Amino acid sequence: MSLSSYGPSFDTLPATLPVFPLPGALLLPGGKLPLQIFEPRYLAMTRDALASDRLIGMIQPLRQGSEQEGLVSHTAELYPIGCAGRITAYSETDDGRYLITLTGVCRFAIHKELPTVGGYRRIVPDFERFRGDLDAAATAAVDRQRLLKALQAYFSYQKISIDPAAVADIPDDKLVTSLAMVCPFEAKEKQALLEAADLAERSRVMTALLELGAFAAQDEGPRH
């Protein structure tokens, strides 16, 4: 996977990391996640990140039911694995929001949580088991034909049109990463994609999710 020359190397990843718990948000290494920042604690987090290494950890709260986007409680239990992203684009709005793009750098496990700063949560991340996320030369065997067939069936029952020509020239790594991030999977399914060991496993997990989703929709009958 191609990584930006502006991004950190493994040895320069930080010892502490601010985290942004967001239900249903999936960031993967090499992927790009646009975010609208408006809550005071996350405005503070973004300002602090922009003033330092620009890194923010995206992570899902473990329980999704009663939480609303951007309103996750300070004590909500978190999934143990997230992904650090670097702010690669940002702008300020007249009404005091930040519009940012995070580019995924490396996954992390939570080693321990630290006291909050400015209202936002911080952790000590363990990046070691995900060292391979920063390997730009990493490749993997992806059953592209089966993946695209499953995607076409899934999108058909979701009433989403797909142009095969639009994805024909997209490299396997970018295709798998982009599809994993944009498909409307459940939170635990997104977490399974995040925690997949490598690109090949992530591709297999996503293909299975697409096939199951299409089968379930077919079993329910046509949508009107």
Q: Is 168 helix (H, G, I), strand (E, B) or coil?
A: coil
H/E segment holding residue 172: helix 172-182
Which H, E and C letters describe 121-134, residue by residue?
EEEEEECHHHHHHH
User: How many whole angstroms separate alpha carbon 115 and alpha carbon 180?
Assistant: 32
Q: Are strands 55-59 and 17-21 parallel, antiparallel or unpaired?
A: parallel
Q: What is the amino acid identity at position 180? A: A
Q: Please tell me the least confidently modeled range out of 4-18, 32-46, 55-69.
A: 55-69
Task: Please state the rounded mean pLDDT for residues 9-28.
Answer: 96
Beta bridge partners of 107: 83
Between 223 and 154, the higher pLDDT residue: 154
For domain 10-132, the CATH architecture is: Roll (2.30)
Mind listing the pLDDT tens digit for each residue in 132-141?
A: 999 866 667 8
- Closest by CA to 104, choosing from 21, 204, 174, 15, is 174
User: How many whole angstroms separate alpha carbon 166 and alpha carbon 109?
Assistant: 35
Going by the DSSP 8-state scheme, the letter that residue 12 receives in this structure is G
Q: Please check the confidence at residue 119 and state whether its pLDDT lies above 90.
A: yes
Task: Please state the rounded mean pLDDT for residues 26-51.
Answer: 97
pTM: 0.88
Q: Please check the confidence at residue 59 and state whether its pLDDT lies above 90.
A: yes
User: How many whole angstroms separate alpha carbon 27 and alpha carbon 53?
Assistant: 18
Task: Please state the rounded mean pLDDT for residues 192-201.
Answer: 95
Q: Please check the confidence at residue 169 and state whether its pLDDT lies above 90.
A: no
